[in-house]
């Protein structure tokens, strides 16, 4: 009997009180509240990086097939951006439609929209820092891929035989949300025989679409965020959303 009583006393001493349990649960809740949002954000960013890389691979394959059958892009006869009567830049609807039509032959698509930018998110978008902006140029055609990704075609000029880009293609990963540069929207230069992502390490830092100029979280440039494309493809993270001081020849993460 004394032995059993001793065991009972010991077990009572080892048990947690209700107050201790509640305190422990409270601590766990606080830690979870602090860490779960970060974990979710990191997961979303990894998904975005994967989608951008996948879409880039699909478009690169389509470009090579298009060149094999149609010649390099500078021979496609794409009319580009022109000035309207008020001296505003306007996208050639005919040129953009032709751009999209040629590419559509080499892409699995669910929809093609000629002269209707609304198919890929409308005219309003967010810059990297969250500022709202409304695009001025009209007439873009677009393609929606089976996975819901939108591709927006902008011809610049057909005079792109040398170092000039023929145009650009903008990728919108989430058509259910407003386009957000550097978050769900990314852009590629289209040269006569290749793509070059905006902000790529191959783009000199003193040029307009360099990473250091248009991938700045607090910057206000009307294209701010589009030059994060190269970083996502080459480095494979979106740390530019969380810290300053990233560079091609310096640190590549916030850690």
Secondary structure, 3-state, 146-209: CCCCEEEEEECCCCCCCCCCCEEEEEECCCCCCEEECCCEEEEEECCCCEEECCCCCCCCCCCC
Judged by phi (left if over 0) then psi (alpha if -120 to 50, else beta), residue 251 lies in: beta
Question: Picking from 60-74, 122-136, 197-211, which range would have the lowest pLDDT averaged per residue?
Answer: 122-136
Q: What is the pLDDT of residue 93?
A: 82
User: Span 172-199, mean pLDDT?
Assistant: 94
Q: What proportion of the chain, given as a percentage, has pLDDT over 70?
A: 82
Name the pLDDT band for 86 (thresholds 50, 70, 90).
low
Q: What is the pLDDT of residue 163?
A: 82
Greater pLDDT, 14 or 62: 62
Using one digit for the tens of pLDDT, what is the confidence trace for 104-114?
A: 999 988 888 88
Q: Please check whether residue 167 is in contact with residue 190, taking contact to mean a CB–CB distance below 8 angstroms.
A: yes
Q: Please check whether residue 68 is in contact with residue 81, taking contact to mean a CB–CB distance below 8 angstroms.
A: no
Where are the chain's structural domains?
A: 44-241
Q: Judging by beta carbons within 10 Å of its beta carbon (0-12, 13-18, 19+), is residue 92 exposed, middle or buried?
A: buried
Rounded to the nearest integer, the mean pLDDT of the chain is 85
User: Span 160-184, mean pLDDT?
Assistant: 90
Q: What is the pLDDT of residue 26?
A: 72
User: Span 158-184, mean pLDDT?
Assistant: 89
Q: What is the pLDDT of residue 8?
A: 47
Q: What is the pLDDT of residue 121?
A: 66
β-strands 141-144, 132-134 pairing = unpaired
- pLDDT of 12 > 60? The answer is no
Rounded to whole angstroms, how far apart are CA atoms 54 and 26?
A: 42
Using one digit for the tens of pLDDT, what is the confidence trace for 187-231?
A: 999 999 999 999 999 998 888 889 999 999 888 788 999 999 999
Predicted model pTM: 0.83
């Amino acid at each position: 009997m004394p032995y059993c009583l001793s065991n009972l006393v010991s077990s009572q001493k080892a048990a947690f009180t209700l107050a201790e349990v509640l305190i422990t649960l409270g601590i766990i809740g606080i830690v979870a509240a602090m860490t779960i949002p970060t974990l979710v954000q990191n997961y979303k960013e990894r998904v975005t990086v994967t989608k951008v890389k996948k879409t880039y691979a699909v478009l690169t394959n389509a470009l090579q097939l298009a060149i094999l059958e149609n010649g390099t892009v500078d021979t496609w006869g794409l009319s580009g951006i022109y000035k309207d009567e008020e001296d505003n830049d306007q996208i050639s609807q005919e040129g953009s439609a032709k751009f999209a039509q040629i590419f559509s032959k080499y892409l699995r698509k669910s929809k093609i929209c000629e002269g209707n930018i609304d198919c890929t998110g409308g005219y309003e978008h967010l810059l990297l820092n969250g500022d709202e902006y409304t695009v001025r140029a009209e007439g873009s055609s677009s393609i929606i891929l089976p996975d819901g990704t939108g591709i927006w075609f902008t011809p610049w000029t057909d005079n792109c035989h040398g170092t000039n880009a023929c145009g650009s293609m903008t990728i919108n990963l989430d058509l259910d949300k407003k386009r957000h540069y550097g978050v769900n929207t990314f852009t590629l230069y289209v040269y006569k025989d290749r793509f070059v992502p905006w902000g790529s390490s191959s783009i000199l830092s003193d040029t307009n679409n360099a990473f250091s100029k248009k991938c700045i979280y607090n910057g206000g440039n009307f294209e701010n965020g589009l030059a994060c494309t190269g970083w996502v493809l080459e480095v494979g993270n979106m740390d530019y959303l969380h810290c300053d001081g990233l560079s091609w020849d310096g640190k590549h993460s916030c850690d």
